[in-house]
A and B are shown apart, each in its own frame.
Chain A
Amino acid sequence: MTQHDPALLSAALAAAEQALNQAVTLAPYSHQELDAVSGTLLGIEITTVDLTVYIEIVTDTEVRLMAHCERDTDTFVRGTLEDFAALATSYDPAATLINSGIELEGSSTSLITLQQVIARMEIDWEAPLVELLGDVVGHQIAEGLRRFLRWGEGARTSLKRQVSEYLQEEGGLTPPKAELEHFYDAVQSVAMRTERAQSQVEKLLAKAAARETPQ
């Protein structure tokens, strides 16, 4: 039997899929990149939460997220949440992929393309989720989201540590200062978005609590 409530998982995937496809529509540069890998199927196993999601690049403007898929994947990656957070925000995904604990089966092309497309877009992940939270009686999702956000903080710190370790070990590879700045900016922007989502969830929970209190 499935461990995760499929309805909950579908909610998260539907929201993420909507956010992603909206962002893709608004970013014409991404079409060409996605076109080159369209038709590919990626599997991502996140060991921390015992979860596998599938990403199908359907066309140059449509990505499909699935909780269940029985077709053979072109690319399958396995890693922890932290690994994937590092990858998602990485300025140099190929290097991050090699340096991280992520296991890769198949070709890395589609994964790296997708990472580049996503990293360059300002995706509004929260809006569709919050929209859904209003619909679905939200306790379980809110709880899951809060857990996820708490994890986000840890990931940020460890990301920095991992990067500096990497730089120290590979001494010769010190990137230009500007690139480092850019990298930390990117991390910062993820951090800010995470905090925004957290405060939105808190507001929602407060509202729900107020509604439950008898007048």
Chain B
Amino acid sequence: MNDEATSSADRDDDTTDFGFTRVDREAKASMVRGVFDSVASRYDLMNDLMSGGVHRLWKRYTIELSAARSGQTILDIAGGTGDLAARFSRLVGPEGKVILADINAAMLEVGRDRLIDKGATGNIEVVQADAQALPFKNNSVDCITIAFGLRNVTDKALALRSMLRVLRPGGRLLVLEFSKPTSALLGKVYDQYSFQILPAMGRLIAQDADSYRYLAESIRKHPDQETLLGMMEDAGFGECRYHNMTGGIVALHQGFKP
């Protein structure tokens, strides 16, 4: 195993990051769960407000890059409330399959309800699963997406390897995640926004400033574009590349199973 593939934050065996606080590895998983338990019901509203609706555009492009087509099997891990799953469901059609997976039952429940509301159910399977140990067969999936999920995963290298195992050869992984703004000025504005405005918005709307402070902090702790690219290569993905979006606030990484 290549230790450089793990983020520098994960070097220490017993502790890892929880936002800017260092915590016990076991504790991180349950604290992340706590965060998403507490935001689940307002998650979609907050997503729209926090990003000014732009997250829909980031996701739209992710769907395009997936090149998903009728009959394929798509796994959306850390899929939360099923945004991507609902769109994939139409693209793969009745012969295809979409697996909406997340470690958090509360998020999946909101997701399931939303998918039913949208009438997208026939080809969607909802599975509670940990990205680090995916409960799916080797070479069984055409495409895996993970949107705003990887930064919450304790051992990212382990998760990437697990995804590689599940993908069929030639299949692709798309990682949509906050990244590093390419300009210093944008970086500053963005800092102000996420450390001042975000928690305030969280307090107002979700009555939960702490969870949103965690979100802002976890974004800063997440590996930047080149680091994540290296981690994907180390995990065994080929033809890795990324697209910066909205000035690098978000990056979409793509890699193929050789």
Contacts and interface: CB of A to CB of B under 8 A. Distances in A.
A69 B252 CA distance: 16
A67 interface: yes
B48 to A, nearest CB: 9
A205 B49 CA distance: 22
A68 B241 contact: no
Interface residues of A, number: 21
Interface string A122-152: 0000000000100111000000000000000
B53 A5 contact: no
A49 interface: no
Interface in B215-258: 241-247, 250, 252
B64 A69 contact: yes
B58 interface: yes
Interface string B34-61: 0000000000000000001110111011
Interface string A1-42: 110011111110110000000000000000000000000000
Nearest to B245: A7
A132 B123 CA distance: 32
A2 B61 CA distance: 12
A66 interface: yes
Given A7-B61, A136-B53, A136-B54, A71 B69 contact: yes
Interface string B168-204: 0000000000000000000000000000000000000
A135 B60 contact: no
Interface residues of B, number: 21
Contact of A135 (B52, B242, B243): B52
Interface string A107-124: 000000000000000000
Nearest to B247: A5
A11 B244 CA distance: 15
B65 interface: yes
B1 interface: no
B53 A10 contact: no
Given A5-B245, A7-B250, A68 B65 contact: yes
A85 B65 CA distance: 28
A70 interface: yes
Contacts of B246: 5, 7-8
A135 B61 contact: no
Given A6-B252, A69-B67, A70-B67, A136 B245 contact: no
B61 A68 contact: yes
Nearest to A54: B64
B170 to A, nearest CB: 12
A164 to B, nearest CB: 41
A66 B53 contact: no
A11 B60 CA distance: 9
A136 B53 CA distance: 7
A7 B176 CA distance: 12
B64 A68 contact: yes
B58 A7 contact: yes
Nearest to A134: B52
22 contacts: A1-B244, A5-B244, A5-B247, A6-B243, A6-B245, A6-B252, A7-B57, A7-B245, A8-B246, A9-B61, A10-B60, A14-B56, A66-B64, A67-B64, A68-B65, A68-B67, A69-B64, A69-B67, A70-B67, A71-B69, A135-B54, A136-B57
Given A8-B246, A132-B53, A136-B52, 9 more contacts: A5-B246, A6-B245, A7-B61, A10-B61, A68-B65, A68-B67, A71-B69, A135-B53, A136-B54
Interface of A: 1-2, 5-11, 13-14, 66-71, 132, 135-137
Interface of B: 52-54, 56-58, 60-61, 64-65, 67, 69, 241-247, 250, 252
